Chain A
Amino acid sequence: MTEQLRPAPAGLLDELSPLLARVSTPVQYVGGEINAQTRAWEDAQVHWVLMYPDTYGVGQPNQGLAILYEVINELGWASAERSFSVWPDLEELMRAHGLPQFTLESHRPVRAYDVLGISLSTELGYTNLLNALDLAGIPIHSAERTMDDPIVLIGGHCAFNPEPIADFVDVVVLGDGEEAVIELSRIVREWRLAGCPGGRDQVLETLAATGMFYVPRFYAVEYGPDGAIARISPTRRGVPTTVGRWVLTDLDEWPYPKAPIVPLAETIHERYSAEIFRGCTRGCRFCQAGMITRPVRERSLATIGAMVDAGLRATGLEEVGLLSLSSADHTEINEITHQLADRYEGGNVSLSIPSTRVDAFNVDLARELSRGGRRSGLTIAPEAGSERMRAVINKNVSEDDLMSTVTAAFSQGWRSVKMYFMCGLPTETDEDMLAIARLAHRVVETGREITGRRDISCTISIGGFVPKAHTPFQWAEQADPELIDHRIGVLREAVRADKGFSRAITIRWSDGEPGQVEGLLARGDRRVGRVIEAVWLDGGRFDGWREHFDYQRWVDCAIIELEPLGVDMAWYTTRPRAEHEVLPWDHLDSGLDRTWLWQEYLAGCAAQQIADCRWDDCKDCGVCPRFGVDIEMGPSGTTLLPLAPLPPRRKKTGASAA
């Protein structure tokens, strides 16, 4: 036999239906949405399941999954279906009736597929990852899997330090997934068509040998007497010492998603999102996304216009999101918003951009975003309240920038502004919290002056800072939960005491405890995997949900699992690292020069700022030369978006109505 394609497994819908009729929101499990792809099993040689380890409502809008779903299905010889975490009510019934984790499209068991690709954007999804594997009947430990199991692959931001889940996954992809999923599909297909020579081990070795797929089991980690890592090294010949990152160039060649699935169940966002550029070089020192996605690669005006037109037609959605890490920074953002607003004038289509940098927002942008009917709220991200603190994190915005932004917004009719902040940042003191309160005061005061109205409101959203891998602050100590809660308390008290303003200012905050667990997982090594497994075994899941998160469970499991190894939760979180300590992710190459990151850390602690390399000199972060890529940005010179006449209306052909 030369072919070992996996046989078509039976669908489970008949057995599932009586269970679904007993649970909350059953529609989230069954697929059938507009643009969902239902392919015959036999039509594909490589079968993927794409999973987001949270509910459908949270996972379905994920842009990465939407892109990869189309890229894989367009190959023809490969197919992709979806699966999400099942809520505990259904999990209990599935376990009682012996039914496994299944896909939305064909309701087949996930275990029967070739590749299970999981997008991880938050560390708090790790217990859900284990639970999904277990519910699928897939051994949770990579080492115990057989030819009957799919290759378990992860991607997304968490892939940049996958060490805490290294024992549970087979393959890790760093960076942009578009080309990676095609290459992996090709390697798996060749291996299957050749009769699976050498079994799973062989295909994993082929993947690892490319230097672009990280297979954790082919790397050994040794620890020194101080508890820190002594060495990370490949365990077999042909496996490189470091693993590279996938960097897509020319986003215009990859205009996905073209026709994203339109959810039937309610989800957290329901809009057509077009990514207007990828990467960010603003250089905020806390920001993992801005570090691991360099350099900036813009999509052209013409491509964005065509994507939005086709995307709205294919979905029937009414809102367009212009997505990126800092959308107002696109070289042609004013042209994009102006021309899109013109095109959809009077058509009940609204435009939105995610939270924006305070200095890039202006009156024109404010006006264009408020045309087309509904105006979404203005959200800006100063991140820190004092000038000094913003210099530490390299936010590069002054209070005057911020005031001119809110002035623009208020003059264009906005009445409320939401601002994001962090606390627990390096070198922070209570005084920095008072600066946030003063800033909110000034925003409200400015709003009242400009509009002559009293109904101006300002929402402060604040959370504890969690240091992340591949950022200048990867060496920094994390503030403990008590300090985070104390700082938030200082802010709340300052706002409460602000006579005449306290009622106009709302504070939303997240407690310090989940951030501590996030910190443990974000900078943990393979030993932390034991804590995740113990928490999951003890019933932990949906840790991103306040009603499910159990801090004490994490603390207890960390004590039991880590103390015998001579480390503890604090060792991973509140301990500052030395420059040359081997970090768990040092063998994973994001392209950033480690010395540059350390210099940036020192510069941050000294409150020294650096400029954006898009508009200033190269700052030698290392990414472009490492991967042979370059900044790709406009202006494209295009002045017109392709015109998009509405589809012809079908008039009644016969007699007119009475």
Chain B
Amino acid sequence: MQRLRLSYSKLGVARFASHRDFSRAFERALRRAGIPMAYSSGFSPHPRISYANSAPTSAASYAEYADIAVLEVLDPDQVRDDLNAALPTGFRVLRVVEGHRPALADVLQASDWVIDLGAVDRQDLESAIRALIAAESVEVSRATRKGERVFDARPAVRSAQVDEEGHVRVRVTHGTPLVRPDDVLAALRRLRPGLGGEHPGLFTRLRQGPLRSDGSIGDPLDVPDATADGGTRTTRAE
């Protein structure tokens, strides 16, 4: 069995797909591409695919990650090309590499997001960002299946600024609870009520990966496998 790790993007109309929609589309693309998937054992076998930290519905992304297991040894570039011929509009496999280590959950430590609020005055955005950076904590609430959940969105925000196009760019670290771009927007609106009117915010993930010592985000597919012999599971790579 060969283990493959891949990165993919979700752009254009595909942003509106939920993670569940993507996973069904991805399974079909694997079939259409004739990729010999390994299946889980058990009463209802499923192809062996695992996802980590997928972008929410309506968010676009240049940086999504998944691991798959196949029954034969394949050329990763060929897998990428075959999948791209079989995926719906807007989804694109960017890179495929061999190996499942270190675990995705361990290397996906932070994300860069763009928040597009439509036509908003630049000064208003900048002032809201300054207030956010200055604040020690900003409590936001999010509706979950279990009801309203209140948490502090501030500690996850590493940096934030307004880019040339007048959109907010924010770097957030991944923790529990996971702070999403809509939480950052809620925090900005908490500090500057009415920011961007009723615009829901259109979010785009630019990258996610390991947080390097200089504060930048690395490529998760370039993190070396500390257990090169492919043996038993060890602690995560530095």
Contact = CB atoms under 8 A, between A and B. Distances in A.
A17 B202 contact: yes
A266 B21 contact: yes
Contacts of B200: 18, 21-22
B212 to A, nearest CB: 26
B25 interface: yes
Contacts of B230: 658
Given A21-B202, A657-B73, A316 B31 contact: yes
Interface string A250-282: 000000000000101110000000000000000
Interface stretch (B86-94, B123-131, B214-222): B86-94
Contacts of A266: 20-21, 24
A633 interface: no
A350 to B, nearest CB: 12
Contact of A318 (B20, B31, B36, B57): B31
B16 A26 contact: yes
A524 B112 CA distance: 60
A295 B41 CA distance: 48
Interface stretch (A337-345, A356-364, A648-656): A648-656
A33 interface: yes
Interface string B76-92: 00110010001111100
A318 B39 CA distance: 15
A646 interface: yes
Interface string B116-136: 001000000000000000000
Interface string A23-40: 001110111111010100
A315 interface: yes
Interface string B9-33: 0001110111011001101111110
A26 B57 contact: yes
22 contacts: A13-B13, A17-B202, A18-B200, A26-B16, A27-B16, A27-B21, A32-B14, A32-B89, A34-B25, A264-B21, A266-B20, A266-B24, A316-B32, A348-B45, A646-B34, A650-B79, A651-B73, A652-B72, A652-B78, A656-B73, A657-B98, A658-B230
A317 B28 contact: yes
Interface of B: 2, 12-14, 16-18, 20-21, 24-25, 27-32, 34-36, 45, 57-58, 72-75, 78-79, 82, 86-90, 98, 118, 199-202, 228, 230
A235 B162 CA distance: 67
Given A18-B200, A32-B88, A34-B88, A262 B28 contact: yes
A26 B12 CA distance: 13
Nearest to A19: B200
Interface residues of A, number: 40
Contacts of A648: 34
Max count, chain A CB within 10 A of own CB: residue among B12, B25, B30, B35:
B25
Nearest to B45: A348
B161 to A, nearest CB: 22
B13 A316 contact: no
Given A20-B16, A32-B14, A313-B32, A652 B21 contact: no
Given A316-B28, A316-B29, A657-B98, A29 B16 contact: yes
Contacts of B17: 27, 264-265
A647 interface: yes
Interface in A294-320: 313-318
Nearest to B70: A649
A650 B31 contact: no
A93 B216 CA distance: 39
Name the 10 nearest CB pairs between A and B, nearest first: A316-B28, A32-B89, A316-B32, A30-B13, A26-B16, A316-B31, A21-B58, A647-B34, A32-B13, A652-B75
A264 B88 contact: yes
Nearest to A22: B200
A650 B75 contact: yes
B153 to A, nearest CB: 19
Given A264-B88, A656-B73, 11 more contacts: A21-B201, A29-B16, A30-B13, A34-B32, A34-B86, A36-B89, A265-B17, A315-B32, A647-B34, A652-B72, A652-B73
B23 to A, nearest CB: 11
A650 B72 CA distance: 9
Nearest to B196: A18
A29 B13 CA distance: 9
Contacts of A646: 34
A648 B34 CA distance: 8
B74 A264 contact: no
